[in-house]
A and B are shown apart, each in its own frame.
Chain A
C-alpha cells in the first residue's frame, strides 16, 4: 500500500466569471522514502494540489477525487477533527515564506513545543529537549539559546530551518514542502535541500517537493510530476523524465533554462510562445495545444494517458520525439 494514493483529484473554484478548473484529474502515488517533485509554473495548480492533500484549500475551493488515501486513511471521508489530528502529526507542511507561517507573537521554543504537545502527551521539559535536538539536527548552532527568540530575530535561512524543525517535531510520515528554498540564497538553498534529503532518508518519510526550479527537481527528487494548467502532463522517475523528456511542455521548460555546458552563452534561449489558457469554463483536449508547435487536430480531442516506460507516463497524442541537445 503506497503512503499516499491520489486518484483523479479535481479542484474547482467558483468565480464570478464561472467555474475555475484549477486542478483537473491529477493522479499519483508516493511510497515511503520517495521524493516526488511537483513542478510547474504559476497557475499550474501545483500548490493547490499540495494544499488539497492537507485539506487546507481556501474555503471556496471544491475538492473532488475518486480516491485520496494517506496510509490507508480515506482523506475524502476524514472529518475536520481527524484532519487536525493528522496535520502536524503524521503529515506536515513546510511553506515558502516562513515569516508568514511562524507566529510573530510567540518564541521559537513555544511554537516548536506546541507542535509536539498538540499531538503527544509530553511534558514541557521533554518537548523542549526535542526542540533543541531538532534545531541542532537542522544545523542551527547554539540551539538552546534560540528557543527564547522570536521569528523576526532570525535570518531567512534560520527561519526556514525552524519551520523544517517544526515539521519534524512529531516525526511525520509525509512532508510536503512548497517552494521551501525559493526565497533563499543559493548557498542556504543547498544546505536546506541537503538537510531535507538526509532527514528524509533517516526517517524514511515520503517527501513532496513543490517547485518551479528544474535544477532542484533533478538533484533532489526520485519522481517528478510536471503540471500544466491543472493537469499532469508528464510523470515518471526523475532519470527518465530528464533523460528523455517527452511531453512538448516538459521539453519546452527544459529548453528555456540556461544550462552551463549545454546552452551557449549569449545564444537565444528556447521559449514557449503564448500564454496559459483561461481555466474558467470547460476546456476540452490538450490544455497546451495553443502553445505547442507540434499540435494537430487530434489535440482537441480526448488526450490519452500513455505509457512510455517503467512509471514514465505522459498525456499527449503525439509520439515522443527526442529533444535536440
Chain B
C-alpha cells in the first residue's frame, strides 16, 4: 500500500481561553482526535460550519501551529521531525481573501518570487524566469509582472496567490475557501484553473469549503467536521448519495440548487452551534440531531465503517 502524502493521527489542538483575571483558563478543543489520510493526487475536501475547527486544522497542516497531541505526517515522515522550511516547501496555502493575503506594496513579481527568496533558491534572473512561467501557468498575462495587487481584480489576485503557492513546486495545496470571496463567473474560472493545475503539476488538494456544490464538483473524498471532530469521511459519491451522519445530511439539505420548482427546504436543523468551551456530553451533535436517543446524550460515538468511509454516529450502521 502506498504511503499517503498527508496523514493525521489522532491530532488534537487545545487552546487555553482566558475567562477573566482570577479565573482559571478554559480549555477549547478546536480540533479533537482527528485522524485522516490524504492520498497523493486526490482532492480531499473538508466541510463544516464556522467554528467547527476547519481553519485550525489548516494551520496545523501548514505547520503554523503545533498539535497538542497526535501526529501529522508528510509521506510518512512526522512534520514534528521535519525542518519547517521543508514543510513550507511541500505544503502551500491558498487563502480565501486575495485582498488581504497579498501585500499591497509588493509587485506581482515580488509576491510570486517571495517563497524562492525566503528559501534562497536560484539567482535573481532564474527567479524572474520562474515567475514568468508561473504567470503563464495561472493564466495571467506576462505584462502583469510589475503590477500591484491594487490594480488587479479579485480573480487576478487569486491567480497571483495560486502562482505564489505553486512556485516552490509543492506536493499539497491547502485551499481555504479559495473562491468564496469571488464572483460567480470568476469562481468558475478559478475552480477550472485549480483542476487544470492539479493535472499539470500532479498536485494534491486539501480543500476547505462551506460550499457543498463546489465540493461535490471537485472533491474525491470529503470529511465533515463538527465541533472539532470528523463526524463523517466518505468518497464523494457515497456521501452525496447517502450521507451517513445526520449532520452531513443536514448540511446537504441546506444546499440551494438553482431550481425554482423545489422551493425552500422545510426541515432545516434548528438550534445554533454549541459553545466549544463546554461541548455537549455524549455526541456533540445530539442537541440539534433529529435522531438523538438516550445513548447519544451520554456516549460519544466512534467511527463506524459504512460504504466507502466511516461515520461517527450510533445510528450510522
In the assembled complex, the Cα of A216 lies from the Cα of B255 at a distance in Å of 9
A197 interface contact, C-beta 8 A: yes
Q: Check: A20 CB closer than 8 A to any chain B CB.
A: no
Residues 200-225 of chain A: 1 if any B CB is under 8 Å from the residue's CB, otherwise 0?
Answer: 00000000000011111111110000
* Interface pair B217/A256, CB less than 8 Å apart: no
List the A side residues contacting B254 at CB < 8 Å: 186-187, 189-190
Given the known interface contacts A254-B258, A260-B257, the answer about A269 and B188 at a Cβ–Cβ threshold of 8 Å is yes
Instruction: Say yes or no: B187 contacts A185, CB within 8 Å.
Output: no
- Is A239 an interface position by the 8 A CB rule? yes
Within 8 A of B (CB), among A261-283: 261, 263, 265-266, 268-272, 275
Question: A109: which B residues are within 8 A, CB to CB?
Answer: none
User: Does A321 sit within 8 A of B, measured CB to CB?
Assistant: no
Q: Tell me whether B217 and A265 are in contact (CB under 8 A).
A: yes
Q: Is A253 in contact with B217, judged by CB distance below 8 angstroms? A: no
Which residue of chain A lies nearest to B237 when distances are taken between CB atoms in the complex?
Answer: A265
Query: Which bracket fits the contact residues of A?
Result: 35 or more
Q: Given the complex, which residues of A lie within 8 Å of B264, measured CB to CB?
A: 190, 193-194, 197, 219-220
Binary per-residue interface labels of chain A (288-325) against chain B in the complex, 1 for a CB within 8 Å, 0 otherwise: 00000000000000000000000000000000000000
Instruction: Using known A-B contacts A155-B273, A265-B218, A266-B195, determine if residue A242 contacts B240 with beta carbons closer than 8 Å.
Output: no
A157 interface residue per 8 A CB criterion: yes
Q: How far is the CB of A309 from chain B (nearest CB, A)?
A: 15
Given A155-B272, A187-B49, A258-B216: A218 and B195 within 8 A (CB)? Answer: no
Chain B contacts with A in 187-213, Cβ cutoff 8 A: 187-189, 191-192, 195, 210, 212-213
Minimal beta-carbon separation of A324 from chain B (angstroms): 16
Number of interface residues, chain B, beta carbon within 8 A: 44
Q: Are A214 and B258 closer than 8 Å at their CB atoms?
A: yes
Knowing A220-B264, A253-B185, A272-B185 touch, does A190 contact B256 (C-beta < 8 A)?
yes
Q: How far is the CA of A214 from the CA of B151 in the complex (A)?
A: 29
- Give the distance to chain B from A174, nearest Cβ to Cβ, in Å: 21
Contact with B along A218-251 (1 / 0, CB 8 A): 1111000000000000000011001100000000
Q: Establish whether residues A242 and B259, one from each chain, have CB atoms under 8 Å apart when the complex forms.
A: yes
Provide the bound-state CA to CA distance between A242 and B186, in Å. Answer: 21
Give Cα A256 to B182, complex, Å: 12
Residue of A nearest to B153 (CB): A275
Mask for B268-281, Cβ within 8 A of A = 1, else 0? 11101100000000
Q: Are B214 and A258 neighbours in the complex by a CB distance under 8 Å? A: yes
CB of A194 within 8 A of CB of B268, answer: yes
Residues from chain A with Cβ under 8 Å of B125 in the complex: none
Given that A187-B254, A265-B236 are known contacts, is A257 also in contact with B260, CB under 8 Å in the complex? no
Instruction: Using A256-B188, A257-B213, A269-B191 as known contacts, say yes or no to A194 and B266 having CB atoms under 8 A apart.
Output: yes
Cβ of B2 within 8 Å of any chain A Cβ, yes or no, is no
Q: Which residues of A contact B253 (CB under 8 A)?
A: 190
Bound CA–CA A257/B186 (angstroms): 10
Give Cα distance in the complex from A206 to B134, angstroms.
Answer: 50
Distance between Cα atoms of A221 and B255 in the complex (Å): 16
**Are B212 and A186 in contact, with the CB atoms below 8 A?**
yes
Q: Does A139 contact B (CB under 8 A)?
A: yes
* Chain A, range 32-72, C-beta contacts under 8 Å to B: 41-42
Residue of B nearest to A238 (CB): B260
**Contact of A259 with B by CB under 8 A:** yes
Residues on the A chain within 8 Å of B263, using CB = 219
A156 to chain B, nearest CB (A): 8
Residues of A within 8 A of B1 (CB): none
- Tell me, yes or no, whether B250 is within 8 Å of chain A by CB: yes
**Are A215 and B260 in contact, with the CB atoms below 8 A?**
no
CA distance A238 to B210 in the complex (A): 26
- Do the beta carbons of A242 and B260 come within 8 Å of each other? yes
Interface residue A107 (Cβ < 8 Å from any Cβ of B): no
A241 CB to closest chain B CB (Å) equals 8
Top 8 nearest A-B pairs by Cβ distance? A215-B256, A258-B217, A256-B188, A269-B188, A41-B183, A186-B254, A218-B258, A185-B49
Q: A215-B213, A219-B263, A260-B213 are in contact. List 10 more A-B contacts (CB 8 A).
A: A41-B184, A42-B183, A216-B256, A256-B187, A257-B184, A258-B214, A265-B218, A268-B192, A271-B185, A271-B188
Q: Which residues of A line the B interface, CB within 8 A?
A: 41-42, 139, 155-158, 185-191, 193-194, 197, 212-221, 238-239, 242-243, 252-261, 263, 265-266, 268-272, 275
Can you give 21 contacting A-B residue pairs, CB < 8 Å?
Answer: A41-B185, A42-B183, A139-B270, A155-B273, A186-B49, A186-B210, A186-B255, A212-B184, A215-B213, A215-B256, A216-B256, A218-B258, A218-B259, A219-B263, A243-B260, A260-B216, A265-B217, A268-B192, A269-B191, A271-B185, A272-B185
Q: Which residues of B contact A (CB under 8 A)?
A: 49-50, 153-154, 183-189, 191-192, 195, 210, 212-214, 216-218, 236, 240, 250-251, 253-266, 268-270, 272-273
